[in-house]
Amino acid sequence: MIPDKRYAVFATRIKSLRRARRLSQQELAKALGVHPGHYSRYETQDSLPSLLTLVSIADYFEVSTDYLLNRTDEMR
């Protein structure tokens, strides 16, 4: 687990966004082009995505990377 509150918020936010769209981790991983195991580790705070994957997640959910990284509470 990564010991930084910002990463805990990142994990919580991507999980909430995924659930709001009623997607499984596997479905979202496929849409993002990442291995399902890698995506799972993002939600469990065991790993962080690459910069390109972070941008892909933000684009997919139409939110800002700042929102995902807890630099703002505004989604866009």
Res 49 pLDDT > 60: yes
Domain count, the chain: 1
User: CA-to-CA distance for 61 and 21, rounded, in angstroms?
Assistant: 9
User: What domain range is 58 assigned to?
Assistant: 5-68
34, 24 Cβ separation under 8 angstroms: no
Inside any domain, residue 75: no
Res 1 pLDDT > 60: no
Inside any domain, residue 47: yes
The CATH number covering residue 56 comes to 1.10.260.40
CB atoms closer than 10 angstroms to residue 64: 14
Res 27 pLDDT > 70: yes
Average pLDDT for 50-73: 96
- Predicted pLDDT of residue 53: 98
Inside any domain, residue 41: yes
Average pLDDT for 18-43: 98
Inside any domain, residue 73: no
Inside any domain, residue 76: no
pLDDT over 70, % of the chain: 93
pTM across the whole model: 0.90
